[in-house]
Amino acid sequence: MSAHHVPDYQSALHISGVRTRFVKVPMRFPLGTSAAAMTSAPLLLVDMETKEGVVGRAYLFCYRESGAKAISEVLHEAADLISGMPASPAKISALLARRYALLGVSGIVRMALAAIDIALWDASAIAANMPLAEYLGGSLEPIPAYNSDGLGLMPADKAAEEAVQLLQPGFHAVKLRLGHPDRETDLQVATAVRAAIGKGVELMVDYNQALTVPDAIRRGLDLKDLNIYWLEEQIRHNDLQGYAAIASELATPIQIGENFDGPEAVYDAMAVKAADYFMLDIARIGGITGWQRGAAMAAARGIPISSHLFPEISVHLLAATPTAHWLEYVSWADTILKEPLQISNGNIAPPNRPGLGLEWSEEGVQRYSAD
Ligand SMILES: [Mg+2]
């Protein structure tokens, strides 16, 4: 026994079980993109239990109901595999990646394993009595956020109206979905939104993979006088050569990354200069362990990193990301959380509570239960 014994909180926690609950929460602004239309968000709530009594939490946005069921199935099996082990996120992440290598760590499996990773980091930070942002070496300073709650595919007049509504909570930036069947509608909608929000507000545009390379270049040039902050995911998400071609033709920065499958994808995208900005999705990049690895690679080339969905979790990660850029804000989880994120003058700070600071509102969970 060392004379200077430092308590090791992670090895003090041992995984004892997992609880998942499926809720379908209403969306304040129904969201139609070029890929799908949604009026409620299917969320899977995860509680990782430890023998020591600390509970680590995470939630996943599952896109579809079948996604929530499949992810839950994998998650319970994976939790059985690690039952009794020390709650050490990086080690558990490596172990589970091996166990699921032959099935394939991607899609639903990737998301299930990410939820375990997130919950284990949460438990570790709770045991250390620190907000996760600080546990990861960051601070609780506010992060600039844009409102992504609505502005799906809609006619110009409706989009202009909704854009103004989205600024109400104090935001100075909003994201608009485009990718209408014809170019002219895209230009009309974007022009109407820019006129409605004025010059001082940042406007991001997301095509949700709707276009071809030549069309993406044409539509990007169409918007060149509207001061668009970034153009996001115009084409199939993993056509990195296609993105490099688009980026070389357009002056407006290109944003990709919400579909990066593991941190290695950051390296691949940088290698071909596919885009100016990357946005990481905590579930697809491999949880908190995967995010840190991806963000470290991006930092080596000074690439700005934004987040995709999960603002309550991502805000802690951006706080510890060297090239942190924008937090994507959606209010979807508000109804099932005791203390939703607070927006202050367009910024959001990690909450000063242990871990992620996620506490379920049992009333909300019961009301929207879809188990
Ligand atoms: Mg997107």
Task: Give the tens place of pLDDT for each residue, 33-86.
Answer: 877 788 899 999 999 999 999 999 999 999 999 999 999 999 999 999 999 999
Residue whose structure tokens are 């879809």: 370
**pTM for the full model?**
0.95
pLDDT, tens digit, 9 for 90 and up, residues 313-366: 999 999 999 999 999 999 999 999 999 999 999 999 999 999 999 999 999 999
Please give the CATH topology (third level) of the domain spanning 134-360: TIM Barrel (3.20.20)
- What is the whole-number distance in angstroms between the Cα of residue 176 and the centre of ligand 1? 10
Q: Which CATH architecture has domain 9-127?
A: 2-Layer Sandwich (3.30)
Q: Tell me, what's the pLDDT at 10? A: 47
Q: Which of 204, 194, 213, 206 minimizes the C-alpha distance to 33?
A: 206
Whether residue 5 has pLDDT greater than 60: no
pLDDT, tens digit, 9 for 90 and up, residues 236-273: 999 999 999 999 999 999 999 999 999 999 999 999 99
- If you ran DSSP here, which 8-state letter would residue 56 be given? E
Strand order in the sheet with 55-61: 15-32, 37-50, 55-61
- What is the whole-number distance in angstroms between the Cα of residue 198 and the centre of ligand 1? 23
- The strand ranges marked E within 302-344 are 305-307, 327-329
Residues of the chain above pLDDT 90, percent? 93
- What is the whole-number distance in angstroms between the Cα of residue 259 and the centre of ligand 1? 9
CA distance 295 to 307: 11
Please enumerate in sequence order all residues whose Cβ is within 8 A of that of 369, keeping only pairs 6 or more positions apart, or say none.
21, 22, 23
The average confidence (pLDDT) of the chain is: 96
289-307: b (≥16 Cβ within 10 Å) or e? bbbbbbbebbeeeebbbbb
Q: Please, where in the chain does CATH 3.30.390.10 lie?
A: 9-127
Token output for 125: 């930070």
Q: Please, where in the chain does CATH 3.20.20.120 lie?
A: 134-360
- What is the whole-number distance in angstroms between the Cα of residue 180 and the centre of ligand 1? 15
Residues with CB under 5 A from ligand 1 (ion): 206, 258
